[in-house]
Amino acid sequence: MCDTRTGSIRKTRPFWHLHDRVVLARLGPITLVTFGLWAAVGWAFGGFVALARVAQAGLLVHWLVPVLAAGVPVLAILGSRLLEILVNIRAYVANPGRKLPETGFAFQGALVACTLALMAIGGVQGLPVLRLLDALVLGLPLGHAFGRLGCLAYGCCHGRPSSSRCAIRYFDPDSKPVWKEGLSGMPLHPTQLYSAMGNVALFLLLNGLAEHGPHREGTLAATYLLVNSSGRFATEFLRWPLRGSRALKPFQWVSVALFCSGLAMLAWSMSHPGFDFSMSAGLWRATVDALEHLPFVLGGSGILFLGFGIHGRKVGRYFGQRDPTRPQ
């Protein structure tokens, strides 16, 4: 392939062709995108691990299962969409007719919405809220890693131009780097893969810590916030768009807020008792208990597939030229 900067022929690394595959299928006026499929797979794996850990923590009460399986996916869709709109509010105000039909989501919005809702519901129902959050974050990074593969396929959250041997290129006219930014064939940092690998590492870290307790309730959730927000803050330096000034990007400010929330949760956890996952109900027994609720988990996957995967006919190239309201 031709390097657009030097004109030379250069082989790219397709990462098993996971990237640059936006459309899964077109069914009349409906377009199914691969992002929704990856989000559904992420929930199936990450959600099941979280449910098993909730059972291991002794919190798998009957009313909580449908909340986790249905309520959390719905809140994730709404929260992620809302934050994306707020971050790009100027563009939406300047050209709502163009921007509103476009699809955009922000994981941090889903994280905030779901966390606040679970804290409120758990508090009202008398559950140990911090222990509940600890159990849930043991599965969250695994699901998020699959979601980042969805970003890789869709082309969103892509990186800035790079000369790295690991750089990837987008040619699919439906992918965002092509139709939105005019970066067809440009080697880019695979920031989605960086995030996916970081989430896998965080998944292993948190589950390793859980098996070497006890920890005060809330410590694992606080660790998740501190590490995840730090990783997102750093990755933003490699993500598009480029910044001409030294000002932080909007999602870096959100990361700073989440990091401060992690510090606050860590301080809050100091006043709570310790809990040891390794000394509680065995993980294997908890996994068996969670299997009884597998249909609920798969139902949540279906909700995420519908929310993230079904688009109107207008996807990618159907929107036309690059968005002039987006900073370049």
- Number of CB atoms found within 10 A of residue 251's CB: 21
Element (H, E) at 23: strand 23-27
Q: What is the token pair recorded at 237?
A: 């330096």
Q: Confidence class of residue 133 from pLDDT cuts 50, 70 and 90?
A: very high
Instruction: Return d(Cα 133, Cα 217) in angstroms, integer.
Output: 9
Quickly tell me which residue has 């929930």 as its tokens: 43
The residue ranges of DSSP E strands in 59-159, in sequence order, are none
pTM for this model (two decimals): 0.89
How confident is the model over 21-37, as pLDDT tens digits?
Answer: 899 888 888 889 999 99
Residue 324 confidence (pLDDT) above 70? no
- Higher model confidence: residue 118 or residue 277? 118
Quickly tell me which residue has 């910044």 as its tokens: 243
How confident is the model over 61-107, as pLDDT tens digits?
Answer: 888 999 999 999 999 999 999 999 999 899 899 888 777 777 789 99
Q: Residue 326's pLDDT is what?
A: 39
List beta partners, residue 46: none
Instruction: Return d(Cα 238, Cα 244) in angstroms, integer.
Output: 14
| Coil, strand or helix at 206 | helix
Question: Contact 103/165 with Cβ under 8 angstroms?
Answer: no
Nearest to 157 by CA among 190, 179, 180, 197: 190
Question: Contact 42/143 with Cβ under 8 angstroms?
Answer: yes
Torsional sign, CA 207, 212, 218, 223: negative
Secondary structure letter of residue 65 according to DSSP: H
Nearest to 235 by CA among 274, 266, 189, 276: 189
Q: Residue 18's pLDDT is what?
A: 72
CA distance to 12, 17, 175, 184, per residue, from 166 (Å): 8, 14, 19, 17
Q: Residue 96's pLDDT is what?
A: 84
Q: What is the token pair recorded at 144?
A: 């998020």
Q: Which range (50-59, 265-274, 312-321) has the least confidence?
A: 312-321
For β-strands 30-33 and 23-27, DSSP reports them as antiparallel
Q: Residue 327's pLDDT is what?
A: 36
Burial class (CB in 10 A: 0-12, 13-18, 19+), 11: exposed
Question: Contact 174/312 with Cβ under 8 angstroms?
Answer: no
